[in-house]
Structure 1
Amino acid sequence: MKRSLKLKYEEKHREALEKEEELVEGFNMADQRRQMMKYWVMAESSCPQFLIARSSVCAASSMITFFFVIMYTLVHVIHGIIKSVPGKTPYGVYTKRIIEIQFYGAGIAVILAMLRWFVTVSFRCSSTNTWMIESYWIQTLNDCRNSSTGIKIGPNKWGKGLLDAKWSVLTFCIGVQCFIVLASKTLIFFSSFMVAPFVFCFSQINKFARRHHDASSGGDDVDPNLNSYILLLDGEVDLLTSFVKSMCREADGMIQIGREKKPSNLINLLHKSVYSNSSQITSLVSHDCWTLQVVTLTSIAVALPNISQHQRKQLLRSVSEGLPLAKVVEKTLDTNAKLKSIRNAASSTWVELLVYSKWVQIDLTSGFLWCRNCEQVLQELSDKAEEIVMGWKSESLDSNMGNPLNFPARVVAANSMYRICQTILLSYGEVESCEDMWERLCVMIADVFSACLTNLPYAITKMCHQSCIEKREKTVRQAFLLLGKTEQVLANIQQHQRPCIDHEDEASTMSCVNDLAITVGC
């Protein structure tokens, strides 16, 4: 089943990719939702749980469970009659308690069994090819029977006997499998006449309720082309339109849940962004991973004197909401995980800053109290960063450490700190106060976030491209939640018309590898 659905998914995935290029150059909520809904329908229709639930074998086993529970209920009633007869049992009252517990458990089982039974009958999965054995039921057994891999065969009677025995055993297994499938389909075929009236009544009630709901809400915005993205096995009939609408409503519900968790602090920070392609912010964006830039700039801001505790906490909250989104973008663009070590350096530096208010074990809140202005703070951070890098270079004897990707986390953070501090010092004004520097740093952080999150629509769509059938539904669900969560963020960034990078060019996407090779001495 998985192999068959994988081939169908790859075919539909190629078809969806042809229309995906239009979303790269901009963000439109309706278009983004419409494109992602295709992958949601593919994920839901190929979900292993849903796939098994609508199969005839599962429905037949559920029906058998249902009838066994009916028989057990009769036994329970008979036991109630027998216990009224005078006499004692050596187990006393425990017999009654055990039967009651079993009865309640069986009651829950019969409800679940009936639901599976009704699902299969309502889908009418076996109605078109009732007596046909689809290839996926016996394909694996048939391949094993026709293969001689793993068997050592000699030119004697034992080799012939071994092959004949293997053929006979697997032929018997194939026959048993065919019997199980045919028996299941037969049970479903005849039981459908018994369940059909209930299914018909339920479908009419459901149609009436949906019609009333659509009239009150203005109708469902469902793309009629979504039906072509439903993944079905051979022998299955198309799912009803109501099920596709139900899938879309569930996806819209996840978007709504995401909206309720919107990053309000980050949105307020992004309002400060003036992204104007200035040479200063462009150099920052092209040098490091976005997350490392943000962490470094935030560390500098926290170290500034004469800044209230409330302002620091507000900035940390905003960055805390933005970093997870930036990490999603970076992981998506860094397809080969070349920059994983640099992202890890940013993560470890951020945890230290958030929890201990420290940068590479340097206290930022009390370690710079002697500094009278911002220039001294920047120069002190630059000197300490230079000291860390130069000290590591003098102690390192490993030739592989010449590769920036092999730098320790604290050295990567120090290299970034030195470069950014020096960049800011080049444009530092003597009359610039700490409050002005604080606002300047906040604008820089907002600009870096804006430059990064411009690529978020591409990253969200890329999350839906999950080929593993077990993870597909979970991944697409997370993408819808992220879409709702960042809808306002993306709308705010889109208003500034920020350019989106070329996602196909990995060198332009993450160009910090060669840049990190620049030593502090340079």
Structure 2
Amino acid sequence: MGHQSTNDLLEQLDKLLNVYDFSNTTRTSLLGCVNLIYQSDLEETYSKPMLWIGLYIALASLACILAMVADLLHGLRSRQLWFPCKYFRINAAFLTLISIAMKLPVDLSGSMPGVVDQTAKLGSMAFMCTMMANLLPCLATMNNDELLSNITALCVLVITLVVNVCIQIQTGVLDSLSAIVAIMYVTWLLELLLLHLCSSLAILKSKEIIESKYQKRHDAASEDIQQSSGRLLTVEKLQKHVRNHWIMAASGSPQFITACSPVASASGVICALITGLHALTMLVGIMGMKEKDYQSVYKWSMMVILIVQSIGVVIGAIAPLSRCFATLSFKVSSKIILNHFKVFKVESYWTWKLYDWKHGGIHEFRSRNLEVIIETLKKLILSLCIKFQKGVVVMCKITALAPFLFMICVLYCFRCMKWLLKAVFTSLGKKFEKLERNNDLRPYVLQLDDDIELAERTLVGLIKYVNQFMEKGAKSSPDNLMKLLKKSTRDFQGVQKFDHIDHDVPSKVDYQDCWRLPVVTLTAIAVSLPAIEKEEVDSLLESVREGLVYVTIVEKGLNATDNHVSAQKATETLWREIRLGKKWLGNELQDPALQMNAAGQIVEWLRDRAKNMAFTKETSKNNIGGPNDDPITRSICAYSMYRITETLLLAYHTNNDATVSQKELFDTLSSMIADIIAACLTNLPQVIRMKCHTCAIEEREASVKDAAQLLGETTQIIEILQDHYIPNMDPSDMPYLDKWRSYLSNP
């Protein structure tokens, strides 16, 4: 019944009351009935959007599930079966999605009379538990401020959910059986929240311990790879250096350490219990879905929510359960088994932060008595927190014994099977023996507990993973660039010859030359030669494009100083214009008017254009590179073009070679470009070394992966450069073009 029909009923009732003389009691009863009908109409009208809200809840849940699936795929692909949190993390975006997905258990006003309604509300709580268990390792990726803000937000979300569920149990929104299940979920939610808080306190100190061990291993690894003057590091040494740092980064990853802790094992056991309980409740839910027993305002969207979140519970349980057996990553020995059974031993990093707060000072007050009281209360509260923290760790270790004992049985069965296979198949035995030849990498394994050893199979898996990145890089090696580098001279003479003006012409803009600017300028001159075949020009452009990728990596990594940035930015703008439009600062490089000109005339034309823009204030429309043209960019590019073209013309006049052909000039320019790029790329080993070592512990894995892929891509380049004569320069001067030119001019 709609609003209009209710109004009609009121009008008819008003006429009826005017015609007949009813008693006051009868009048009140009739008006009360109409009021109930009206309230029912209003409730039906307001509940119409709830169907779409239910679908919105399912969509938010699906987004969280997809992020967890992405983490699972990433873990499988990278052989990291502790499944680090790369996509599904505790941050503002996902906390918002989780709060939307938890709309059902937080809803205090909506009645849930149907079986599907009750099961969906309980399913949301199970889904929340599995999401929290998944999110535990991501705490290790945060710095202090991020950890404080995100864990606070998670606490607010979980406590709000728990309080609202308790209110619903008290008010009878949940029936008696559902209330019992809800109490169990609430207990596990609070336990998981407690595990998050305990891990947060331990993470800060554990990072310091790992960082201290990392620095010692890094110093040892760096001793064997110091670059000497006049020599490039070999590919073999670089590969060993990358592997060493990958072992340090992967084994010392904060997420790996957190995932292998007893807290993670305990969360996995809780997750297993939750999954089992949810499977039992789903049996009732399936019966309700068959009978379409959903009577809440969310209507049939409750079925969608239940199905989606049930899938989420199953998927969300995979990673925590896998972390239960994270000790599979360790070699099982009698010493380690005894160490694991020392359940009452609590390592110092679990309580270090609490002790630090306990012994730390407080804000001074004017009243000495008040200060004494506050100090006493602080120590008392923190002492209780320390004991509580120790108790939680001990309980987690006891809980972790179940999967640990199961793991021991599985591993010993596996060892027996392997022994039998080795006894039967000699060739297979040799394969197994091959896995035990990585003792040179074992010193670089980082662990909080020195008594625990990384299993050989896990170590081999880590090495295979980093080797895959090198192989992946090798498959995408720059073939066109290597063809160009073969044109470079062994002594890099093009670095000195491209700009050899005796008199120094001052520029309107103060800047220092970068590697990319002369490369792009020389390419512009080569493109302007009309007699060169289009295929050759396009091949040069493609070779330069590939070369600039690595030149940019060198510049950004080794000489990203303020006095180089302006030239680097100008070069990026100029290169886009040359590559995409074959223009130089708005001038057509393949101007039809220059088709019949000799090579020297084209160079003179470019010199005059550049001189006009570099040294005069007047600019015509033809001199402007576009509506977003920057005068600083124009001046830098024009000054570079002027010096290079003037150098070329002086060389021709000195050699009395004014009739040089365009083909000869193109080859000369190509050789110069190759020399400059080759000289710059002699810094690639230094860049790879730098990428292997980064200060932020949270970023090391990604940085070493980049180094491995870069080494794979540039292996052949480094091998080509091994045959060149490397100047006997200070290694700290090699990233700078001006240092190279000074050395080559006065060796």
Q: Does residue 281 in structure 1 map to residue 495 in structure 2? A: yes
TM-score of the superposition, structure 2-length normalised?
Answer: 0.61
Q: 1:83 to 1:439 in 2, by over 3 A?
A: closer
Distance 1:89 1:448 in 2: 73
Range 40-49 or range 491-500, more displaced: 491-500
Q: Does residue 421 in structure 1 map to residue 645 in structure 2? A: yes
Q: 1:377 to 1:221 in 2, by over 3 A?
A: farther
Q: 1:143 to 1:283 in 2, by over 3 A?
A: farther
Q: 1:343 to 1:325 in 2, by over 3 A?
A: same
Distance 2:704 2:499 in 1: 29
Q: 1:181 aligns with which of 379, 393, 416?
A: 393
Q: Which residue of 1 aligns with 2:179?
A: none
Distance 1:354 1:221 in 2: 52
* Matched AA of 1:115: S
Distance 1:35 1:100 in 2: 49
Alignment of 1:25-424 (within 5 A): 25-77=231-283, 90=295, 98-120=305-327, 122-123=329-330, 127=340, 129-149=342-362, 151-201=363-413, 219=434, 223-234=438-449, 237-278=452-493, 281-284=495-498, 288-334=513-559, 336=561, 338-366=563-591, 369=594, 372-391=597-616, 408-424=632-648
Q: What is the deviation of 1:76?
A: 2.8
Q: What is the deviation of 1:372?
A: 0.6
* Matched AA of 2:635: V
Q: 1:47 to 1:211 in 2, by over 3 A?
A: farther
Q: What is the deviation of 1:63?
A: 1.2
Structure number with greater CO (CA < 8 Å, separation at least 6) is 1
Distance 2:354 2:310 in 1: 39
* Matched AA of 2:394: L
Range 193-202 or range 257-266, more displaced: 193-202
Tell me, what secondary structure is at the counterpart of 2:702? helix
* Matched AA of 2:459: V
Q: What is the deviation of 1:294?
A: 0.7
> Residues 463 and 479 of structure 1 are in contact (CA less than 8 Å); yes or no, is this contact kept in structure 2?
yes
Q: What is the deviation of 1:320?
A: 0.6
Q: 1:100 to 1:332 in 2, by over 3 A?
A: closer
Count residues in correspondence: 500
> Residues 128 and 237 of structure 1 are in contact (CA less than 8 Å); yes or no, is this contact kept in structure 2?
no
Q: What is the deviation of 1:263?
A: 0.3
Distance 1:220 1:234 in 2: 24
TM-score of the superposition, structure 1-length normalised?
Answer: 0.85
Distance 2:308 2:673 in 1: 61
Distance 1:441 1:221 in 2: 53
Q: Which residue of 1 aligns with 2:623?
A: none
Distance 1:228 1:211 in 2: 30
Q: What is the deviation of 1:30?
A: 2.0
Q: Which residue of 2 aligns with 1:399?
A: none
Range 255-264 or range 241-250, more displaced: 241-250
* Matched AA of 2:632: P
Distance 1:513 1:30 in 2: 28
Q: What is the deviation of 1:271?
A: 1.7
> Residues 386 and 415 of structure 1 are in contact (CA less than 8 Å); yes or no, is this contact kept in structure 2?
yes
Q: 1:283 to 1:369 in 2, by over 3 A?
A: closer
Identity of aligned residues (%): 28
Q: 1:18 aligns with which of 214, 223, 237?
A: 223
Q: What is the deviation of 1:253?
A: 0.6
> Residues 346 and 413 of structure 1 are in contact (CA less than 8 Å); yes or no, is this contact kept in structure 2?
yes
Alignment deviations for residues 434-473 of structure 1 (CA, whole Å, 9 cap, x no partner): 1111111111111111111122122212211112111111
Q: What is the deviation of 1:64?
A: 1.0
> Residues 435 and 456 of structure 2 are in contact (CA less than 8 Å); yes or no, is this contact kept in structure 1?
no
* Matched AA of 1:183: M
Distance 1:22 1:83 in 2: 70
Tell me, what secondary structure is at the counterpart of 2:326? helix
Distance 1:365 1:145 in 2: 76
Distance 2:219 2:408 in 1: 39
Q: Does residue 432 in structure 1 map to residue 432 in structure 2? A: no
Q: What is the deviation of 1:8?
A: 1.4
Name the Cα RMSD after superposition: 3.5
Distance 1:213 1:480 in 2: 30
Alignment deviations for residues 33-52 of structure 1 (CA, whole Å, 9 cap, x no partner): 11221111111112232222
Q: What is the deviation of 1:153?
A: 2.5
Range 491-500 or range 92-101, more displaced: 92-101
Tell me, what secondary structure is at the counterpart of 1:384? helix
Distance 1:334 1:285 in 2: 21
Q: What is the deviation of 1:122?
A: 4.8
User: Unaligned 5+ residue runs, structure 1?
Assistant: 395-406, 517-522
> Residues 498 and 648 of structure 2 are in contact (CA less than 8 Å); yes or no, is this contact kept in structure 1?
no
Q: 1:82 to 1:261 in 2, by over 3 A?
A: closer
Distance 2:451 2:468 in 1: 28
Tell me, what secondary structure is at the counterpart of 2:346? coil
Q: What is the deviation of 1:358?
A: 1.8
Rg (Cα) greater in structure = 2
> Residues 304 and 374 of structure 1 are in contact (CA less than 8 Å); yes or no, is this contact kept in structure 2?
yes
Q: 1:117 to 1:165 in 2, by over 3 A?
A: same
> Residues 285 and 448 of structure 1 are in contact (CA less than 8 Å); yes or no, is this contact kept in structure 2?
no
Tell me, what secondary structure is at the counterpart of 1:73? helix
Distance 2:237 2:258 in 1: 32
Distance 1:340 1:214 in 2: 58
Q: 1:93 to 1:198 in 2, by over 3 A?
A: farther
Q: 1:110 to 1:503 in 2, by over 3 A?
A: same
> Residues 249 and 700 of structure 2 are in contact (CA less than 8 Å); yes or no, is this contact kept in structure 1?
yes
Q: 1:89 to 1:320 in 2, by over 3 A?
A: closer
Range 321-330 or range 154-163, more displaced: 154-163
